[in-house]
Amino acid sequence: MEIKRDRAAKTIKITQESYIERVIEKFRMRESNVISTPFDVGTNLTKSEEECDLNYPYRQACGSLTYASIIARPDISYAVGEVRKFLENPNRSHINAVKRIMRYLNHTKSLGITYGEPGEMDLIGYTDARDLDTRRSKTGYVFKFGNGLIMRRSQRQETVAQSTTEAEFMAITEGAKEAIWLRQLFEDIGFEQATATKLRVDNLSAIKLVQNPELHCGISH
């Protein structure tokens, strides 16, 4: 991980340019064509019913990409999560998806996370719920501070929601719990939040549910 400090702009940027270059070199993707996204949203990766005897280090590739997604490249997190589902028996479409991520990284090596840019300097969170192919939705949330990402999570919900509103409400609940924990952490290290933490949601019915005092006993507004 590289840490670049710009004293004039008062920003700190973390990148993994050198690491990504080594990964690209290892998997022979240096001469790959430019691509603008790490994953094709129209692609539906599925399990293979047949043994796939392809001489490609799929597990090693996924492991290398996972490390990059955790440290400084959250923009590839979704794509990496999709290809990691098929570690046991990858087929050609899975390998192509891995190569697409590397093609994307090869031409965006300098991207990273910048803290301190003009914008929100308070802790702020975003939550969402998504259900594509199962009856259990996924809870997702991210938190930013200094306009840079500091926390993210995506996990299958433990129970089946009876509606989109309920799934979104469950995601908001998990995001709120994380916000409380982060606020306590900030206070412990000397950065106590003076204002309320904003939690942004894109589902109108879930927002109305949260704001309805009749549905929340013991909460005053």
pLDDT digits (tens, 9 = 90+) for 15-55: 999 999 999 999 999 999 999 999 998 888 888 766 666 78
Residues 65 and 127 grouped into a single domain:
no
Domain assignment present for 113: no
Residues 158 and 80 grouped into a single domain:
no
pLDDT digits (tens, 9 = 90+) for 96-117: 999 999 999 999 999 999 998 6
Residue 154, classed as helix, strand or coil, is strand
CATH number of domain containing 140: 3.30.420
pLDDT, residue 157, reads 84
pLDDT, residue 138, reads 83
Which is nearest to 78 in space by CA: 45, 48, 56, 120? 45
- Phi and psi torsions of 124, nearest 5°: -140, 140
Domain assignment present for 27: yes
pLDDT, residue 220, reads 46
pLDDT digits (tens, 9 = 90+) for 62-98: 999 999 999 999 999 989 999 999 998 899 999 999 9
Question: How far apart are the C-alpha atoms of 105 and 2, rounded to whole Å?
Answer: 16
Domain assignment present for 49: yes
Number of domains in the chain: 2
Domain assignment present for 199: yes
pLDDT, residue 221, reads 43
Considering 52, 84, 106, which residue would you say is the last residue of a domain?
106
Domain that holds residue 191: 118-215
Residues 56 and 135 grouped into a single domain:
no
Domain assignment present for 174: yes
pLDDT, residue 39, reads 94
Average pLDDT over residues 157-172: 86
Place of tokens 């979104």: 168
Residues 45 and 92 grouped into a single domain:
yes
Considering 106, 136, 152, which residue would you say is the last residue of a domain?
106
pLDDT, residue 143, reads 94
Average pLDDT over residues 158-177: 88
Residues 63 and 6 grouped into a single domain:
yes
